[in-house]
Amino acid sequence: MKKLTLEKAKVLSNEETGTDSGIFLLKLKIDNLKSPLIRPGQFARLRSLNGRPFPRPFAIARVNGHVLYFYIKAVGDNSSNTRQFARLEPGVEINISGPHGKGFEPLPGIKRYLLVGGGVGAAELFPIAEELIRNKIPFEFLQGAKTKKGLIFHDHLLDNGVWPDLIHDIWEDDPDQPGQVTDLLEKALAERLPDQAVIACGPKLMLRKVFDLCGARNVTCLVSVAEVMGCGCGVCHGCAIKMIDKTYRQVCDDGPLFDAYQIDWTAFIPKPPVALISRSRKKQPNGPLKTILYGQERRRLILNPAPVMIASGCSDIAADHQAAGAIIFKSTMLEKKIGNPMPRLCELPCGAINSIGLEGGGIKQVIDEYLPILKATGKQGIISIAGRTADEYGLIMKKLEQSGKLGRAVIEVNISCPNDDRAGMSFGVDPHDTFQVMEIVRHHASPNRFIILKPTPNVTDIVVICQAGKQGGADAFTICNTLLGTDIDIETRRFKLGRGFGGLSGPLMLYPALYLISKVYRANLGLPIIGSGGISSGDDALKHLLAGASAIQVGTASFSDSNIVEKINSRFLEYLGENKEAEHIQDIVGMAQQP
C-alpha cells in the first residue's frame, strides 16, 4: 500500500493515564488526515520539529475524525526519546509520517478472537477491537501489566460494552495473589472453542508464552513484534526477525503482526537469564553489601556498608558519607594548582563536559587539612594523586607516607585526567609510562598499602594499560574516567570551554564504561574492578556489577541527587531479594553473558 505522508500535527492534549503511571495518552490533530487509509495495527513515526527527539514509531491506538491517539510509556532518563514525547504540550506542532506497516484484516473462517495485551502493548489492540466490533465478530479482551498503574483503558471500547479481563503481576491489595495475562489466556483457551484465534501484543517473553499456549492447542495465533522496531521506515534494518524458513522479515514493512507459527522463536527470544549462585560467602563478610576487594600480596580494601562511593572531585570530604563505602579525595598534585581557564563546565543534554584542570591546594593541604578530617569521620579514605612526571607521583606517595597521617587510607593513581597536558592522561596512553608510574608509587608506599590504578579510556586497548599497571603493583582498577569531548557556541563561533575540550561525563558514559569494564574483566587479570561512568540509578549500578565491576563510583549524578548512594544501596538489596539464590552483592559480579 502506498504510504501516506502526514507532515505536521498539532498536540491537542498529552495527559498521564494515572498518577505516576508513566504512560501518557497523546492526541494529535492532523488537518489533512485521510482516516480510511489507516488500518488497525498500523503505526506512525513521530518527530519534533527541531529534530529532537529522534523519530520513533508508535502504534496508532485510535483514529477519531482528524485526531490520532497514541499511548507513550516514558522510560529512561529525562533525555530519552519517550520522556521528551511525554513532555509535549498542547499547541506544539510535530512532524508525523505514516501509516506504516501492514494493517489487520479479519481472518477467514475465524468466528471468535482473544485479544491479549501486555502493558502499553494493549494500545495496538484497541483499533483491532474496534474493527471486530464493526464487523460484529465476537472477542474477549485480556489485559495485563506489571502493576495496576500500568493498565490502560480505551473509553470508546468501554462505551461499546467491551470490558477487558484485567490482571497484573504485583497486587497492591493482595500481594499473595499476583498474576499474568497469560494466566487469563490459559483459562480462556481451556474452553477449546472452535474457529478461534489469538492476537497478542506485548513484551517478547509474553509473546513466546502466548505462542506456546496456542501451539499446544493448535490455535491460530498472530503476534505483534513492534517492540523491536528502530527507525520504523525500513532504513536501519534493525527490526529484521528470522522466520522458520530461514528468511528475514522487516517488522516495519512486513509486520508488525506476524503468524506466530512462522517465527523462529529460538532466534527471536534471548536465552534464559544466567543462573546466579552463592559463590562469595567464603571471601566476603557477613551482610549482603559489605565488600572486601582483594589485591596483590594479600592487600585488601574493605568497603562498608556497601561497595558504592562518590567519585573523585564530586563531593566534599566533610559531607555525610555514612552510606558510602569510602570517601574519595579530589585528585591532588605535588604543589598548589590553579586549574584551567574559564569556562570550565559545559552542560549537555546527555551530561556535561568539564575542564577543571586538577585545581587544588597540593599535597600539603591534603596532609594538613584533609587527612585529619578523614580521621575524624572514621571512614575508609581513598587519596587520588596525579603528577607531571613519574618521579612526582613517587614524591607525592613518599610525602604521604612520611606524614604518618595516612592510616589505612588507600591510594588511587590517576593517570586518566584529560585536562592537564603534562599530568594524568599523559601517563595512561603508554603501557611503559603506566608501569613506570605504578612501580615508583608502589616503591614509596608501605607494603600493605592498597593502590588503585585509574587508567584512561582514551586508548586503543585499555587491557594493555591495565596489564602494565598490574605488573607495576596495582591492586585494582577504576574504569573508566571521562572520554574526550567538546562543544561549540554557534553564535560566538567559539568552543564553549576555556581550554577548548574536556572530559565527557554523565548518562551517555554508561555504555562505553560497560564495554570497557567487561573487556578488562574478561581479560582475567585477577584484580578487582571499580566501575565508574554514566551511573545515575540503581539499575545503572547493577549493570556495572554484571559487566564485571566489584564496586562502583558515582560522579555527575551526585550533583543532582544527594541521596544517590542510598538509592543505589536500596536497589542492590531489592535486586538480591528478587534473586534469592544470590546471597551477596558480589555473587552477581561479571554474570552478564555475551552471545
Helix then strand then coil, % of the chain, to nearest 5 = 30, 25, 45
Rounded Cα distance, 284 and 278, in Å:
11
- The β-bridge relationship of strands 93-100 and 67-73 is unpaired
Peptide bond into 418 cis (omega under 30): no
Q: Any residues with CB less than 8 A from the CB of 4 and at least 6 apart, and which?
A: 34, 37, 38, 98, 99
Q: Any residues with CB less than 8 A from the CB of 510 and at least 6 apart, and which?
A: 533, 534, 535, 536, 540, 543
Rounded Cα distance, 215 and 210, in Å:
9
Contact of 268 with 242, CB cutoff 8 Å: yes
Exposed/middle/buried for residue 550 (C-beta within 10 Å: 0-12, 13-18, 19+): buried
Nearest to residue 299, comparing CAs of 443, 451, 190, 158?
A: 451
- The total number of residues shown for the chain amounts to 595
Is position 417 annotated as part of the catalytic site? yes
Nearest to residue 468, comparing CAs of 442, 441, 430?
A: 430
Cβ neighbours of 60 (radius 10 Å): 26
Nearest to residue 293, comparing CAs of 510, 76, 531?
A: 531
Nearest to residue 43, comparing CAs of 85, 100, 94?
A: 100
Question: Across-strand partners of 45?
Answer: 57, 97
Contact of 243 with 262, CB cutoff 8 Å: yes
Q: Any residues with CB less than 8 A from the CB of 438 and at least 6 apart, and which?
A: 413, 451, 453, 468, 469, 471, 472, 473, 474
Rounded Cα distance, 539 and 530, in Å:
16
Q: Which is the catalytic residue, given 239, 252, 417, 480?
A: 417
Rounded Cα distance, 344 and 94, in Å:
35
Nearest to residue 424, comparing CAs of 369, 475, 360, 364?
A: 360
Q: How far is CA 453 from CA 186, 298, 437, 461, in A?
A: 56, 17, 10, 15
- Give the DSSP letter string of 96-121: EEEEESPPP-PPTT--EEEEEEEGGG
The interaxial angle of helices 431-444 and 462-472, nearest 10 deg, is 30
Buried b (16+ CB within 10 A) or exposed e, 240-279: ebebeeeeebbbbebbbbbebeebebeebeeeeeeeeeee
Rounded Cα distance, 374 and 489, in Å:
42
> Three-class SS of residue 394?
helix
Contact of 412 with 384, CB cutoff 8 Å: yes
C-alpha cell at 308: 558504592
C-alpha cell at 114: 482473544
Return the active site residues: 417
